[in-house]
Structure 1
Amino acid sequence: MIRAVLLGLRAVVFDREAARRLYASGYYGKPLGIPKPRGSNFDAPLELGLLETLHLLERGMLEVYDEEGHRVSVEEVRRRAERFIPKFELLYKVYRDLRDRGYVVRSGLKYGSDFAVYERGPGLEHAPYLVHVMRVDEEIDPLEIVRAGRLSHSVRKAFILALTGPRDTPIRYLLLKWSKP
């Protein structure tokens, strides 16, 4: 079992061999100090975000400990994420769904979206999709859609709205394509 230490809003896998295995198994995390790794041949600890940490914990791929060496439960990681990540429940629901469908899901922050989504993985391709997560009953300003569409078009990515709600609300994915009038 791969062991990680929870440090603030991140979990770190310090065992470098375990870090390489975990990264190779689905491009989880980011090797510390390596901005754009080429494959899993790196020699560094692996930093995981709370969404990734929770996902891996729930799937039995990771054990998480605090700084004193005490085991951290799925519920504790979830509570921490809920406390510090706005709209965590919706984000995690979409993250988990996309991962379960076989996609590689990374932060989309640099593109102004929630997720950048890959079909194969970073370093193998550019992310073809940007995903923005919203509540199904949330209103959106049409100008925001235009801005997101123009940005995604300029970086050659498809813009997807993921609409959902709490618990059993299904996720609806809407692919928006930019077109010229």
Structure 2
Amino acid sequence: MPDDDNEFPIREYLEEIQDDDVEEEIIEPEEDPANVIFENGKGLVGSEDSDRLSQQGFYGTRIDGNRLELEPVELLHLIERKRVIVTTSSGECVGSDYIINELLNEDPDLWIRYLVFRDLRSRGYAVRKGFGGGIGFRVYARGDRPGATNAKELIYVLKEGIPISLSELDLVTKTASSSRKSLIFALVDQNGEVNYYKVAQSTLKDISGDNSERL
């Protein structure tokens, strides 16, 4: 592979995925908002509300028995949909502006990931946090339940105008290949629109017949 300084211009080489069969977002029953404690950049849901958020909406990860821990993007999504009432650990009720500012101060790129998360949810997918290293999310086939089945796709989040190095591209394609999942690039443009591009490895054989290089 080329060295780390070479960068891959995403739009020029990847075929855009045309999703013509977009489904409705996962519909959850109208119920009273769940109570969430905002602590250390995440949301904590008590046992009285954890089941319906987890089972009906596929949000959060179980901790400490029956409690549920929400990732920042999940918390933002629930706030936007008015599904939660958020307080601090001291019991003070806080608004969405406070939470958004706190989260973005810690992670300026969070909003880009949130736009992708929200878009995927609007297309009817269950979404979980990724493996790190640029892989922002794991996405499950429509109808599959996290925990009961494995994710089918890994989502690498990109902001338009910010290139990816070839070494990073090689790393994430290897990660997807080793985990037997499809790799999708989610590219967020300057207007906040999300476009998806499928990425795959291929092998080019040297015309001399001596070597091959994986791209």
TM-score (norm. length: structure 2)? 0.74
CA gap of 1:127–1:99, structure 2 versus 1, over 3 A, is same
Structure 1 residue aligned with 2:92: 70
User: Please, which runs of 5 or more residues in structure 1 have no aligned partner?
Assistant: 34-42
What's the CA shift for 1:112?
5.3
* Contact 1:29–1:52 (CA under 8 A) maintained in structure 2: yes
The 2-side partners of 1:129 and 1:8 are apart by 29
Is 1:28 the counterpart of 2:59 in the alignment? yes
CA gap of 1:142–1:158, structure 2 versus 1, over 3 A, is same
Q: Deviations over 1:110-149 (max 9, x none)?
A: 5751111112231222111111111111111122112211
- Aligned pairs for 1:18-167 within 5 A: 18-33=49-64, 44-109=66-131, 113-119=135-141, 120-166=144-190
* Contact 2:160–2:187 (CA under 8 A) maintained in structure 1: yes
2:43 to 3, 7, 11: 11
Amino acid at match of 1:122: P
User: Please, which runs of 5 or more residues in structure 2 have no aligned partner?
Assistant: 1-32, 205-215
Secondary structure of the residue aligned to 2:203 is: coil
Larger Rg belongs to: 2
What's the CA shift for 1:169?
3.5
Percentage identity across paired residues of the two chains? 30
What's the CA shift for 1:13?
0.9
What's the CA shift for 1:80?
1.3
CA gap of 1:20–1:169, structure 2 versus 1, over 3 A, is closer
The 1-side partners of 2:156 and 2:112 are apart by 11
Equivalences, count: 170
Amino acid at match of 1:13: V
* Contact 1:50–1:77 (CA under 8 A) maintained in structure 2: no
* Contact 2:116–2:186 (CA under 8 A) maintained in structure 1: yes
RMSD between aligned residues: 1.7
The 2-side partners of 1:6 and 1:51 are apart by 13
Amino acid at match of 1:90: I
TM-score (norm. length: structure 1)? 0.86
* Contact 1:4–1:13 (CA under 8 A) maintained in structure 2: yes
